[in-house]
Structure 1
Amino acid sequence: MHCPYCNEEMHEGVIHGDRYSTKWVPVEKDRGGIFQWFYKGIILGHMGEDVEPVFYCEKCEKIIIDTKGKRDTRKE
């Protein structure tokens, strides 16, 4: 995959999950990690689940994650 910012080749990788779900939450709704269970957002991975594929651009230091097929609790 090529970086949409600089067009360099990106490196494919994985984000490993831990005890909690990994989810994207809009910054204006973020109230800190203590309240994560109550946030509505895009669930990228459940407890102990890895998020993949994830692409990283070393030049731009950007990460891209495809959210197709991920559960979006903001729409529920």
Structure 2
Amino acid sequence: MKTECPYCKSEMVKGFIHGGRYVFKWHEENAGLLEKVTVFGGETLHVNPQVSCYRCKNCDKIIINLKEL
């Protein structure tokens, strides 16, 4: 299946992001320093440190479908 970049319309490449040994978490932009650098903050999106995604090499965007997690 080919996925088209919604920004520049180039073909995207399927791959994954690997976060080492840690879970994949979401932090809001205005999160405090302790939330960003400790294990206590953030919303866990996926317990596996590896998530599938699509990357556009043309405009350097990455898209993650949270429903596929």
Q: Same fold (TM over 0.5)?
A: yes
**Other-structure match for 2:47:** 46
**Other-structure match for 2:62:** 63
Question: What are the Cα deviations for residues 13-61 of structure 1, in whole angstroms up to 9, with x where unaligned?
Answer: 01123221121211111526532x2223251x325x4211x00001110
Distance change in 2, residues 1:31/1:69 (3 Å): farther
Runs of 4+ in 1 over 4 A off after TM superposition: none
Contact 2:12 2:55 in 1 (8 A): yes
Letter in 1 for 2:51: V
User: Quick check: 1:34 aligned with 2:37?
Assistant: yes
User: Quick check: 1:11 aligned with 2:10?
Assistant: no
How big is the alpha-carbon RMSD for the aligned residues of Structure 1 and Structure 2?
A: 2.1
Higher-helix-fraction structure: 1
Q: Which runs of 5+ in 1 are unaligned?
A: 71-76
Contact 1:2 1:8 in 2 (8 A): yes
Q: How many residues align?
A: 66
**Under a length normalisation based on structure 1, what TM-score does the superposition of the two structures give?**
0.69
1:69 Cα deviation after fit? 5.8
Distance change in 2, residues 1:69/1:13 (3 Å): closer
Q: Which runs of 5+ in 2 are unaligned?
A: none
Letter in 1 for 2:43: G
